[in-house]
Amino acid sequence: MPVEVAAHAGFCMGVSRAVEKAEAMAKDGIPSCTLGELIHNPQVIRDLAERGLEPIREPEEAGSRRVLIRSHGVSPQVLEKLREAGNEILDLTCPFVDKLHRIVEEGSRDGTPVILVGERDHPEVRGTAGWAHGEVMFVAGPGEAERLPEIEKAVVVCQTTFPHSRWEAILEVLQRKIRQPDCRCTICNATEIRQKEARELAARADAMIVVGGRNSANTQKLYAICKNVCPRTILVESAAEIPPAFANKDSEMIGITAGASTPTDSLKEVVTRMSELENKDLNPTAEVDTNND
């Protein structure tokens, strides 16, 4: 049973940086917390909480603790609230999200409305909306874009983890609706590469395993992409969730990928588990790569 792991799977640059810093913070003895769960992975969150780095939901819950801002970023209003309360801030907003904030802030300075393509309840989208000076409209699909009125001028940006094909479908509609559109594709490299590789791997595979937190938007998107081309796709948070009968034929090729917030160890455990199920060597070319290039 050959197993192939996507070349880019698991932690992306933004998440890897945030987790490294958080682990260092958990060791230095200064009372600290993270504003929101650091990443969408229950195991990592549990582990950090056991070491004193608890997630809080609102800035007011920080008390006098140092506050870590996760890679999703926050609005300037939230940063201001923390500064006013005297909290030390360690801002680990991912550089890709930071770039999105800058585009929104600068593009809307003259009052130009912003169309934010993404899921309006996602923390990155909520935080980004706060950087706009004027009106913000949220669009998650081509149907919603169709329902917008005719607009004279707008800056159009996108959640960094949004599926590329959906962004393009929405853009097609928006370009008809907006007389002077300023469209910027702000989907990050890591997302694009992972989604493209996942689609290609799923097309070759007999079955696919997507590893990651069920509350992780980018993991769910990888799952949807894979399921679309390979109906025998499962999403697991850990190796223990793989049904023993999943690998049922020697000749089948199993593809494995992982969301950007999935620790390398979880991915390796799944690869090992598949090996145990078949008790055969894995594809020697399959490697776990956490780079974001």
Active centre residues (catalytic): 124
DSSP-derived 3-state class of residue 10:
coil
Number of residues forming the site for ligand F3S (CB under 6 A): 16
d(CA 97, CA 163) in angstroms, rounded, equals 16
- Closest distance of CB 99 from ligand F3S, Å: 9
Site string for ligand F3S, 196-225 (x = CB under 6 A): ----------------------x-------
User: Hey, is 264 helix, strand or coil?
Assistant: helix
End-to-end CA distance of the chain: 30
Separation CA 15–CA 286 (nearest Å): 22
Question: Does the protein bind ligand F3S through residue 38 (CB under 6 A)?
Answer: no
Stretch that binds ligand F3S, among 11-19, 50-58, 106-114, 206-214 (CB under 6 A): 11-19
Amino acid found at 186: T
Identify which of residues 254 and 258 has a Cβ nearer to ligand F3S in the complex: 258
DSSP 210-230: EES-TT-HHHHHHHHHHHHH-
Give Cα separations from 238 to 43, 243, 261, 272 (angstroms).
9, 11, 13, 11
Per rule CB under 6 A, is residue 15 in the interface with ligand F3S?
yes
Q: Is 258 in the site for ligand F3S (CB under 6 A)?
A: no
| Among 267, 288, 286, CA closest to 1 | 286
Which residue among 41, 161, 216, 220 contacts ligand F3S (CB under 6 A)?
Answer: 161
Q: Which is nearer to ligand F3S, 13 or 173 (CB)?
A: 13
Rule CB under 6 A: say whether 178 interacts with ligand F3S: no
Closest chain position to ligand F3S (CB): 14
The SS3 of residue 43 is helix
Nearer to ligand F3S, 34 or 292 (CB): 292
Binding mask 81-120 for ligand F3S (x = CB under 6 A): -------------x-xx-----------------------
DSSP letter assigned to residue 241: G
According to the binding rule CB under 6 A, does residue 2 interact with ligand F3S? no
Map tokens 């969301």 to a residue. 259
Q: Nearest approach, Cβ of 122 to ligand F3S (angstroms)?
A: 12
Q: Does 188 bind ligand F3S (CB under 6 A)?
A: yes
Residue 189's contacts (CB-CB under 8 Å, 6 or more residues apart) are 96, 292, 293
How far apart (Å, rounded) are the C-alpha atoms in residues 152 and 21? 44
Nearer to ligand F3S, 79 or 190 (CB): 190
List of residues contacting ligand F3S (CB under 6 A): 12-15, 71, 94, 96-97, 160-161, 188, 190-191, 218, 260, 292
